[in-house]
């Protein structure tokens, strides 16, 4: 199989979260992060999780990644329980967490260390492919400190995509970027999703961002984290985050979110 064929040969996974609950114990007492959360993400789906701080979105993402274990319930990938981290599920965090002693190419190659069946030349071909995909082919030998915040996140995205995971988990990856850079990356991630058809689970506080990116938006409420409502975003791609059509969806989601928060405060 050629390197290019290998790049195209991974089928995205279907995820099923089944009655997952999670509690944490801190110096201030018990935190009930998730309460019997159940949801499904279809093969090649783009699902966004939205909710207030402390509603368990990132905790759920970490459980799906295999970085944390639920107290009860389970997560299945194509029917198989997830019990540990694996290269079939790659995570992209809010901070790019790049290695400053490696250049751009070195950081992407690092993500391929656990990729079996490729020699050194083939790994470089894979790394170059994904750096071109995120528009960084001219910067593959640049030092990390020379890059802007948006460019660093593009490197992090290329590193997450390079092992060709079946699921891409994104935890507020654009939150620390300026508005213009975020808008550019919204277009990039939509193009990449359309081209690669990865199963993507995206956590955000930004309702408009969720409506721009996701095919489905799941609304969480806190105390403890529960799924309150689901919204299907029936808009053509690529989507413009400033469009009036998108604004109507985000207004509807925000209205629901405020209603649940008010309800929780009243309780």
Q: CATH 3.40.50.300 occupies which residues in the chain?
A: 9-88+166-266
pLDDT digits (tens, 9 = 90+) for 169-200: 999 999 888 888 889 899 999 998 988 888 99
Q: List phi, psi (to 5°) of 164.
A: 55, 55
What average pLDDT score do residues 52-70 get? 92
C-alpha to C-alpha distance for 191 and 21, rounded to whole angstroms? 34
pLDDT band, very low/low/confident/very high, at 246 (cuts 50, 70, 90): very high
Does the pLDDT at position 8 exceed 80?
Answer: no
Task: Walk across the sheet containing 167-171 and list its strands.
Answer: 89-92, 167-171, 199-204, 46-50, 216-221, 226-232
C-alpha to C-alpha distance for 213 and 186, rounded to whole angstroms? 7
For residue 49, list its beta bridge partners: 203, 218
What average pLDDT score do residues 54-65 get? 92
Burial 136-161 (b: 16+ CB within 10 A, else e): beebbeeebeebeebbbbbbbbbbbb
Looking at the whole model, is its pTM more than 0.85? yes
Does the pLDDT at position 223 exceed 70?
Answer: yes
C-alpha to C-alpha distance for 60 and 70, rounded to whole angstroms? 9
Query: What pLDDT does residue 28 have?
Result: 75
Query: What pLDDT does residue 1 have?
Result: 43
Task: Walk across the sheet containing 15-26 and list its strands.
Answer: 29-41, 15-26, 72-77, 80-81
What SS3 state is found at 260?
helix
pLDDT digits (tens, 9 = 90+) for 65-123: 999 999 999 999 989 999 999 888 999 988 888 999 999 999 999 888 767 677 888 89
pLDDT band, very low/low/confident/very high, at 152 (cuts 50, 70, 90): very high
What is the average pLDDT value for the chain, to the nearest integer? 89
Query: What pLDDT does residue 21 have?
Result: 96
Whether the CB-CB separation of 230 and 217 falls below 8 Å is answered with yes
- Match domain 9-88+166-266 to its CATH number in 1.20.1300.10, 3.40.50.300, 2.60.40.420, 3.10.20.310: 3.40.50.300
Whether the CB-CB separation of 199 and 43 falls below 8 Å is answered with yes
pLDDT band, very low/low/confident/very high, at 53 (cuts 50, 70, 90): confident
What average pLDDT score do residues 222-233 get? 91
User: How many CB atoms neighbour CB 132 within 10 A?
Assistant: 13
């Amino acid at each position: 199989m050629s390197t290019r064929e290998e790049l195209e040969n991974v089928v995205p996974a279907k995820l099923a979260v089944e009655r997952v609950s999670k509690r944490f114990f801190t110096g201030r007492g018990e935190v009930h992060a998730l309460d019997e959360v159940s949801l499904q993400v279809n093969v090649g789906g783009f699902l966004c999780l939205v909710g207030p701080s402390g509603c368990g979105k990132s905790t759920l993402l970490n459980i799906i990644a295999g970085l944390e274990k639920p107290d009860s319930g389970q997560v299945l990938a194509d029917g198989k329980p997830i019990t540990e981290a694996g290269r079939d599920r790659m995570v992209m965090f809010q901070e790019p967490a790049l290695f400053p002693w490696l250049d751009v190419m070195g950081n992407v190659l690092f993500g391929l260390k656990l990729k079996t069946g490729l020699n050194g030349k083939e790994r470089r071909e894979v790394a170059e492919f994904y750096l071109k995909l995120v528009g960084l082919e001219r910067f593959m030998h640049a030092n990390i400190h020379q890059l802007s915040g948006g460019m660093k996140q593009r490197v992090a995205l290329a590193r997450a995509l390079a092992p060709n995971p079946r699921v891409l988990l994104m935890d507020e990856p654009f939150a620390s970027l300026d508005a213009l850079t975020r808008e550019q990356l919204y277009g990039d991630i939509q193009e990449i999703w359309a081209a690669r058809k990865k199963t993507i689970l995206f956590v955000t506080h930004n309702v408009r961002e969720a409506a721009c990116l996701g095919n489905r938006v799941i609304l969480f409420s806190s105390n403890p984290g529960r799924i309150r409502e689901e919204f299907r975003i029936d808009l053509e791609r690529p989507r413009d985050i400033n469009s009036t059509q998108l604004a109507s969806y985000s207004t509807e989601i925000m209205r629901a979110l405020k209603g649940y928060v008010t309800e929780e405060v009243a309780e």
